[in-house]
Amino acid sequence: MCSFAPTPGHPVLLTVLFLACLLTVISAHIYGAQLSPADQLFYANVKPHLEEPPEKLIAQIPELQGLRPAADQQPLSRILASTGHVVEAYFDSLVDLIAHEDIDQEILNAHGTIKRKQHKKYDYLILLHRDELPPRVEEYRIAPDGNRVEQTGRGAGFPITSGFALNCIHFLPDFRSDSTFRYLGEQVLNSRNTFVVAFAQQPAKARYLVRVSISGQSSSTSTPVLIQGIAWIDQSNYQILRPRTDLLAPRPDVGLSALTTEVTFAEFRLPDLPGPLWLPGKVSVADEHNGHAYLNQHLYSNYQRFGVAVKMLPQ
Q: Does 20 score more than 90 pLDDT?
A: no
Q: Which of these, 1, 194, 195, 197, lies nearest to 89 by C-alpha position?
A: 1
Cis omega before residue 37 (within 30°)? no
Q: Are 124 and 101 in contact (CB under 8 A)?
A: yes
Q: Does 113 score more than 70 pLDDT?
A: yes
CA distance 83 to 88: 9
What pLDDT does 31 receive?
A: 55
CA distance 267 to 163: 18
What's the average model confidence in pLDDT over 27-38?
Answer: 64
pLDDT in tens, 240-264: 999 999 999 998 888 889 889 999 9
Q: Which of these, 200, 221, 181, lies nearest to 43 by C-alpha position?
A: 200
Q: Are 224 and 212 in contact (CB under 8 A)?
A: yes
Q: Are 260 and 246 in contact (CB under 8 A)?
A: yes
In this structure, the strands spanning 277-289 and 97-108 are unpaired
Q: How confident is the model at residue 24 (pLDDT cuts 50, 70, 90)?
A: very low
Q: Does 114 score more than 70 pLDDT?
A: yes
Asked if CATH classification 2.50.20 holds for the domain at 17-305, the reply, yes or no, is yes
Q: How confident is the model at residue 135 (pLDDT cuts 50, 70, 90)?
A: low
Q: Does 3 score more than 50 pLDDT?
A: no
Q: SS3 of 144, please?
A: coil
CA distances from 126 to 10, 14, 93, 122, 313 (A): 20, 10, 13, 13, 18
What's the average model confidence in pLDDT over 128-146?
Answer: 77
Percent of the chain at pLDDT exceeding 70 = 80
Q: In three state form, how does the secondary structure of 199-263 look?
A: EEECCCCCCEEEEEEEECCCCEEEEEECEEEEEEEECCCCCEEEEEEEECCCEHHHCEEEEEEEE
CA distance 218 to 146: 32
What pLDDT does 255 receive?
A: 84
pTM: 0.86
pLDDT in tens, 303-313: 999 874 444 44
More confident residue, 163 or 33: 163
pLDDT in tens, 189-234: 999 999 999 999 999 888 777 766 555 544 456 678 899 999 999 9
In sequence order, what are the beta bridge partners of 210? 29, 225
More confident residue, 290 or 309: 290
Q: Are 193 and 235 in contact (CB under 8 A)?
A: yes
Q: How confident is the model at residue 152 (pLDDT cuts 50, 70, 90)?
A: low
